[in-house]
Amino acid sequence: MKELSCTKCLLKNLCIPKHLKAADFKEFEDIIKHSHTLNRGEHIHHQDEPINSLFIIRSGSVKQYVSRNNNEEQILDFFLPGELIGLDSFNMPFYGNSVIALESTSYCTLPLSKFKSLYEKMPILQEAMLNLMSKTISSEKEMLLSACNKSADARFATFLLGLSRRYSTLGYPENQIHLSMSRQEMGNYLGLTSETVSRIITRFQNDKLISVNQKDINIPNMTKFENVCTSICH
C-alpha cells in the first residue's frame, strides 16, 4: 500500500474532498486509507462479510455483483475512478454484494465508523452525501425505467453513452471508450445475452455509429450517436 495523500491525488477535484474546506479536508485525509491495489479478479469485499468501510476507486474499474443460488452472478453496477462504493450499505451488518476488479485497480478505504463521526460534524459532507444518494436514487429509477421499456439497442446505446460521459468527466476523450468488461458482463448488467450484445455491436458498426477494435470503442460522430440514442430511447 503506497501512502498517497488526497492532496496529491489526481482525483481530488472529482472525489468527496472536492466538497470540503481546508480544515475539513485535512481531517478527511487523515481517516481515509489510500491506494490499496488489486489485480484483475481480486475482490474489494465479498458478499456476507461484515460491513466496515466505504470504498472509492482511484484507478482501474470494478464490478459489483450478487451471487445467486446456483452461483450464477448478477452484475449490479460498474465503478470507475472517483466513484464511491457502498451507498447501499449504511443500514446493513453485512455486504449484500461482492466487488471485484475488472483490471488492475487501486482504491481508497473509508472506515464507516470514522466516516460517521466526520459526517455528524460536517454539514458540507452531509449535503454532499444527501445529494449523491439522491442522484443515485434517481439514476437508478432512470435505469429501471430503461430496463423495462427500452429495446436492447436503446439500452446498450444508453450504457455506452453513460460510460462515455463518466470517462469524459475524468478527462478522457468522450468519443474513445475502453471497455474493461466482457460482452457477457455488459449483457448480464443490461439484462441481455452476450450474443445479443455482440449482434448489436456489429450492427452499430455497420451503421457507422461506432467503430470497434476488441474492447476499444470509438464514436466517430458524437452528436449523431447522441441523437440516435435519444431517438431510439424514445
SS3 at position 186? helix
Site string for a second copy, 20-59 (x = CB under 8 A): ----------------------------------------
- Tell which one of 5, 7, 39, 74 touches a second copy (CB under 8 A): 74
- Half-sphere exposure at residue 97, Cβ-oriented, CA atoms within 13 angstroms: 18
Site string for a second copy, 95-134 (x = CB under 8 A): -x-------------------x--xx--x--xx-xxxxxx
Nearer to a second copy, 46 or 116 (CB): 116
Min dist. Cβ of residue 54 to DNA (A): 29
Q: What is the contact surface with DNA in residues (CB under 7 A)?
A: 151-153, 182-184, 191-199, 201-202, 212, 214-215
SS3 at position 58? strand
SS3 at position 78? strand
The interface partner of residue 194, options being a second copy, DNA, none and the CB cut-off 5 to 8 Å by kind, is DNA
Separate counts of helices (H) and strands (E) for the chain:
7, 11
Question: How far apart are the C-alpha atoms of 159 and 186, rounded to whole Å?
Answer: 9
CB–CB of 38/104 below 8 Å?
yes
